Structure 1
Amino acid sequence: MTDLSVLVVDDDFMVASIHTRFVERTPGFRVVGVAATAGAAKQEIERLRPDLVLLDVHLPDMTGIELLRTLRAEGNDIGVVMVTAAREADTVRAASANGAAHYLVKPFEYDDLRVRLDAFATAHTALRTGGAADQGDIDAVFAPLAAQGRSALPKGLSPETADAVLGSLRAAGDLSASECAEAVGISRVSVRRYLEHFVSTGQASVRLRYGTGRPERRYHST
């Protein structure tokens, strides 16, 4: 299967460079272009026809939401992941209403983007045959709903441990991977795989807490 092509749209050159490197680190994806304005992004979408756009909200000529609405009004169903510092509820609702696949708030780490790229790839490829879809294909497209079931766990994750990790997170409401690992009794590396899976399926969210040294990832049940 060929890699999914990605257009990175951000008016900050350094941020666009970081996002490009993140995408290039992810198996199955390749960056085919970068744009700094909505107008340039639209031209590149028409020229390159990428599978996915990483789209910032705050652009100099129009907002990413306005660009997304324009694309949908033209019948373009290209995949879009909003990658932005915008947290306003109206913006998030507008992104969802106009068919954004995911919404990722800056700043974030590589794993935050990777789990969403993987989820997009699963949904994108599920119905590519064009024939009749079976339930498994449909569940892949509606991953956040289907992933509530145990069968949706990635290879190497056990249902029993997943239940323990999710139960611990829900009981505490807010945990780091280290705190969750101590509560469950498994390694921090292992528990983080479960936590990142729950983030990708919408069962948890993550934010960075800044202090001295490296930012701490805090997970929250949803």
Structure 2
Amino acid sequence: MIRVLIVDDDARVAHNHRELVESLTGFTVVDVAHTAAAALAGVERDRPDLVLLDLYLPDDSGISVLRALRAQAGPATADPVDVLVITAVRDIEQVRAALHGGAVHYLLKPFPLTALRDQLERYAAARRRLTRVEEATQSDVDRLFGLMRPVSPQSLPKGLTPATAELVADTLRAAESDLSAAEVGERTGVARVTARRYLEHLCADGRAELRMRYGSTGRPEHRYRWVR
């Protein structure tokens, strides 16, 4: 389980984020904090894997929290907490400070909750990939860093679109079992060959996996499932 601490001064926003996180398989919320002091105390007490950190806090800035967490971690810490900044702050100096502080991503409010869900799933995929690699190749590094970038026309293979990629992902995510490319095509209204291209992209992204189903005769069937 990925243990998450939510930090936001707005109780309604924090509640919405908590509901989303707890709806995702493999995630659990350890606590919700509304101040910088409570955030630091929560990290010390609960040892979360990931902090969803707002920058607008009543007693101190979120950047100060991020810097304090990095100072507490130090080079000897085996598993320093990761931080995903979620904020309405658009000041470039704050963005730069978050980047220098080691934030895994910077998500600007307002955004649809699907954007946060996508980012959390990408974070989980990156963590899974890290556990499988002992010595990284350049390809491993490129894939890991690419996982934390949301889908955009530039990040997709040529010919694929973000809207259809999200549709295929939603279809696979909602399925109770693995699906073939033909079944995904039927549910989304795209051609089987097209569905397979998107499914292969999701597998390369670490958010889906391919399984081979072997029958008594003929070639094995390619089946795809969402990584939960």
Alignment partner of 1:100 out of 76, 88, 103: 103
Q: Structure 1 43/142 Cα, relative in aligned 2: closer, same or farther at 3 Å?
A: same
Separation in 1, partners of 2:103, 2:110: 19
Whether contact under 8 Å (2:35, 2:57) holds in the other structure is yes
Q: Percent identity?
A: 45
What are the residue-to-residue correspondences of 1:20-31 with 2, within 5 Å? 20-31=18-29
Q: Structure 1 83/131 Cα, relative in aligned 2: closer, same or farther at 3 Å?
A: same
Secondary structure of 1:133's counterpart equals coil
Whether contact under 8 Å (2:55, 2:87) holds in the other structure is yes
Secondary structure of 2:66's counterpart equals helix
Report the AA paired with residue 111 of structure 2.
F
Whether contact under 8 Å (2:87, 2:107) holds in the other structure is yes
Structure whose CA Rg is larger: 2
Find the counterpart in structure 2 of residue 14 from structure 1: 12
- For the pair 1:113 / 2:111, whether they are aligned, the reply is no
Separation in 2, partners of 1:124, 1:53: 15
Whether contact under 8 Å (1:126, 1:140) holds in the other structure is no
What are the residue-to-residue correspondences of 1:35-74 with 2, within 5 Å? 35-74=33-72
Whether contact under 8 Å (1:122, 1:140) holds in the other structure is no
Gaps in structure 1 of 5+ consecutive residues = 154-158, 167-176, 178-188, 202-222
* Count of aligned pairs: 165
Separation in 2, partners of 1:62, 1:68: 11
What are the residue-to-residue correspondences of 1:208-219 with 2, within 5 Å? none
Gaps in structure 2 of 5+ consecutive residues = 75-79, 168-187, 206-228
Find the counterpart in structure 1 of residue 88 from structure 2: 85
Post-superposition offset of 1:28: 2.0
Would you identify which runs of 4 or more consecutive aligned residues in structure 1 move more than 6 Å?
145-148
How far does the alpha carbon of each residue in 1:145-203 deviate from its partner, in whole angstroms, 9 at most, with x for none? 9999xxx96xxxxx5531xx37xxxxxxxxxx9xxxxxxxxxxx789x98xx9xxx9xx
Separation in 2, partners of 1:105, 1:23: 17
TM-score, scaled relative to structure 1 = 0.63
Whether contact under 8 Å (1:139, 1:146) holds in the other structure is no
Q: Structure 1 123/11 Cα, relative in aligned 2: closer, same or farther at 3 Å?
A: same
What are the residue-to-residue correspondences of 1:139-158 with 2, within 5 Å? 139-143=142-146
